[in-house]
Amino acid sequence: MTVKVGIVGYGTIGKRVTDAIMKMDDMTLIGVVKQTPDYEGEVAVSKGIKLYTYEDKLSKFEKVGIKVAGTVNDLLRSVDVIIDATPDGVGAENKAKLYEPAGLRAIFQGGEEAEVAETSFNALANYDMAIGKRFIRVVSCNTTALSRLISAFLLHGYKIRRVRAYLVRRGADPREFKKGPINDVVFNPATVPSHHGPDVQTVLPTIDIVTMAVAVPTTMMHLHMVNIEFDGQISRGEAIKVLEETPRILLFNASSKKFESLAQIIEWARDMGRLRGDLMENAVIEDSITVFQNELFLMQGVHQESIVVPENIDAVRAMFKLSDKWSSIKKTDTALGLVSAGKNYNLT
Ligand SMILES: NC(=O)c1ccc[n+]([C@@H]2O[C@H](COP(=O)([O-])OP(=O)(O)OC[C@H]3O[C@@H](n4cnc5c(N)ncnc54)[C@H](OP(=O)(O)O)[C@@H]3O)[C@@H](O)[C@H]2O)c1
């Protein structure tokens, strides 16, 4: 069986998920919905991707000569599931207006409230909770990275007493030319806890976690400073081993390999030929890993534009019961070219 997938919202996340779907042999991309006739639509058509738009936008596409395969309703009639990657809040509107009336299944992104779906999702944390569900929400970039990190230790049998994380968020994505800050540090949000901690609890409900966040003038990555307190001892060597063998987590060494900044980590992804220079794994700074008795400290980089892409693919497999958790994670990682050497795809 291959699952027929449509994408609504072809921006930062939507275009990356589209490319990923096209790499999966158990999924077929039917097309994407765009509402603005622009260069991104033109590029999509040149790659053989079918564009669909709203009835009242058809003439705009025609006017600038961008070929459209049909209306949104045509797409909805042709797919098994929609992956909605529209801006925050639009997904919930689309659910009520489009997907529910059409009797369709849908996957939403982290900008939606958790209530939009039956379950919030992170593959390492709670794949099994999403099996067979009609509506799934893939949690945001920051929540995905924190959930993977925490899950790494849980999956290795460690008991976590509490997590405290300080998030330095990128101000905007590279394509967002109207956003900032350009010379500031913004309390973003100014509340404690920031929404990220409670969001982690949507996939790991029993974890005691508090987060704080600021936004700074970079478009490259987020940086997390994380403190995990365990019930019992852990050594630095044990922590490194856990992270080395957990899928979707990479260690970057500052002293031996000269990874001294996030820019160099992104440069590595570019040099490795990753599509768009994306880095879908958590980038843990190995030298930052420090243990005082039962407390672990570390820093990790989070490539906000791409980190949720593997999870969107696994969410489709869980929804349609295509494979079990570890088969799906392995299949996704292999097809997307993530580092799989040395990773354990059989953690329980
Ligand atoms: N960017 C990140 O760092 C990031 C990371 C993780 C999760 N997310 C989440 O992913 C979701 C999408 O974010 P994004 O950054 O990809 O947004 P984005 O770059 O702004 O892309 C959203 C796209 O949706 C399209 N759109 C807007 N309204 C629409 C509608 N009514 N119907 C169909 N398409 C519509 C727009 O394209 P057209 O006008 O061309 O149609 C736009 O390009 C959000 O929930 C966000 O919170 C974002």
pLDDT averaged over 10-residue windows placed end to end, the chain, 348 residues = 96 98 98 97 98 97 97 98 98 98 98 98 98 98 98 98 98 96 96 97 98 98 98 97 98 96 98 98 98 97 98 98 98 98 94
227 is known as an active-site residue: no
Q: Which residues line ligand 1 (CB under 6 A)?
A: 8-14, 33-36, 85-88, 90, 109-112, 140-141, 173, 304-305, 308
CATH architecture of 141-302: 2-Layer Sandwich (3.30)
How much is the pLDDT for 348?
Answer: 78
Atom number of ligand 1 nearest to Cα 13: 16
- Domain edges within the chain: 3-139+308-336, 141-302
- In this chain, the answer to whether the domains covering 3-139+308-336 and 141-302 adopt an identical fold is no
Residue having the nearest C-alpha atom to atom 43 of ligand 1: 11
How much is the pLDDT for 311?
Answer: 98
The amino acid at 123:
A
How much is the pLDDT for 158?
Answer: 98
What's the CA-to-centroid distance between 179 and ligand 1, angstroms?
14
Residue 337: which region, alpha, beta or left (left: phi > 0; alpha: psi -120 to 50)?
A: left
What's the CA-to-centroid distance between 11 and ligand 1, angstroms?
5
How much is the pLDDT for 253?
Answer: 97
Of 3.30.1310.10, 3.40.50.720, 3.40.50.2000, 3.30.930.10, the CATH number of 3-139+308-336 is 3.40.50.720
How much is the pLDDT for 50?
Answer: 98
Q: Could you tell me the pTM of the whole model?
A: 0.98
Which of 17, 19, 35, 178 is the best mutation target for the ligand 1 pocket, counting ligand atoms within 8 Å of the beta carbon and taking the most? 35
Atom number of ligand 1 nearest to Cα 170: 3
Residue having the nearest C-alpha atom to atom 40 of ligand 1: 36
Which of 32, 60, 86 is the best mutation target for the ligand 1 pocket, counting ligand atoms within 8 Å of the beta carbon and taking the most? 86
The burial of 69, by beta-carbon neighbours within 10 Å (0-12 exposed, 13-18 middle, 19 or more buried), is given as middle
How much is the pLDDT for 1?
Answer: 77
Which one of 68, 123, 130, 141 is the catalytic residue? 141
